[in-house]
Every structure is written in structure tokens, then in C-alpha cells.
Chain A
Amino acid sequence: MEKELDKHLEETMSNHGVLGTLCADHHGMCLGAKGSVSTEAAGMVTRLSELAGQLDPSSEEDPIICVESDASTLMIKKHDDITMAIHKAKVPT
């Protein structure tokens, strides 16, 4: 399973502009991280997705969270018990 996850993270990293990627379980434990996103961010990433779900408790949908800065964006999405984060560079327009 670990190899499979590692392969998916590598595949994500190969996309244009991706600086880092992270995968965490619902306890905030890091299952895998690559590139610019450190394993220490797992807890905060999971917490953000948990809090975002509380914004609209009636909605069954898990929202996408984007933390944008001048140079990059961190996108977070929860799927079942797994939270995935992708750190992407901003493409100059």
C-alpha cells in the first residue's frame, strides 16, 4: 500500500507547477509527503479540512480549501478519511 501511495504522490509531483504534496489520515498523521510540504504540516492540514467541514454542517460535501500567498497556493481536499494537500506555484499570467 505504501508503494502505491508513494507512486501516486510521485505522479502528482510530476504535474506542472506542483512544488509539494502531502497525504494524511483523519488523526492528522502523515501518510506521505514529497517536495516542499513538510510532514509536520499534516496535523494542520487535517485540522483545516475538519474546520472547513464545520462551516456548513448541513452540507455533506467536503469543500476544497485554498491557502494562497503571492508565490504559491496550498490546496487541501478531504476524501473519506484521507486528506490530501497539493502545494502549487502560481503561474504568472
Chain B
Amino acid sequence: MTTSPVTASLDRVPDQVGYLVMNEDGAVMASSGELENDEAAAGVIMKMVDVALRLQTGTDKQEPFKRLSVIYHEHMYMVTISNQKIYVSKRTNEHHEPITV
């Protein structure tokens, strides 16, 4: 896959272990790392984006979401939409132990 300016900037996301770029139909346009050619994850994320876009809550009526995050203990997926493309970044989740004083 050729490196476009978009994927070049995705490569710079801190703690990233993989990314996906999809078009509005859910077709994977670029992928890397742990999400390379991960059609299953792409399919699930597309469905989640569809539900999240329909999810309207009181004050946010008609306002689309800016970011959708799925946070696990060890890693997280962050999803955003820009220019009719869906960007997914999988990152490791940094844990900081609470300080007891």
C-alpha cells in the first residue's frame, strides 16, 4: 500500500499498534499493524458507527459524534469520521497506578 499524507500522519499516533481507514461503505482503504486486513474488526466498527450516528441524546440532537472510543484494560480503539472516511486507531492503554498519600 502506498503511503499517503493521511496514513503518514496516522503512523505518528502515540502508542498505536494498528490502524484502519475505511470509506463510508465500510471498504478498507488502508490498514496497518494489528489491524492489517482485519475485515472482521472493520465490519464491527462500521456497525458501531452506524448505531452511534443514530444515537441521539437530549442536548446532542442532530450533532454527530466527534470520537467513538472502545476502551479495554490493555488497549483501546478510537474511531473518528472525517471527509467521508472512517479512521480507526488501535492503541495500547497506558496505566498509571494510583498514588496513595
Q: Which bucket holds chain A's interface residue count?
A: 20 to 34
Interface residues of A (CB under 8 A from B): 19-20, 35-38, 41, 44-45, 47-48, 51-52, 54-56, 59, 61, 63-72, 74, 87
Q: Within the assembled complex, what's the spacing in Å between the Cα atoms of A87 and B55?
A: 12
A87 near B58 with CB under 8 A, answer: yes
> Which residues on A sit within 8 Å (CB–CB) of B59?
19, 36, 71-72
- Residue ID in chain B nearest A35 by CB atoms: B58
Residue contacts A-B, CB under 8 angstroms, 30 given: A19-B59, A20-B58, A36-B58, A36-B59, A38-B56, A41-B55, A41-B57, A51-B44, A51-B47, A51-B48, A55-B70, A56-B72, A61-B72, A61-B73, A65-B48, A65-B69, A66-B67, A66-B68, A66-B71, A67-B52, A67-B68, A68-B66, A68-B68, A68-B69, A69-B60, A69-B63, A71-B59, A72-B57, A72-B60, A74-B57
Q: How many residues of B contact A (CB 8 A)?
A: 27
Also in contact, A65 and B57, with CB within 8 A (given A47-B51, A55-B77): no
A44: chain B residues at CB < 8 Å are 51, 54-55
Residues of A within 8 A of B76 (CB): 63
> How far, in angstroms, from A63 to B69 measured CA to CA in the complex?
10
A65 to B78, CA, bound (A): 10
In the complex, whether B64 has a CB less than 8 A from a CB of chain A is yes
Instruction: Find chain A residues with CB under 8 A from B77 CB.
Output: 55
- With a cutoff of 8 Å between Cβ atoms, the chain A residues found around residue B47 in the complex are 51
B51 touches A69 (CB 8 A): no
Contact A52–B56 (Cβ < 8 Å): no
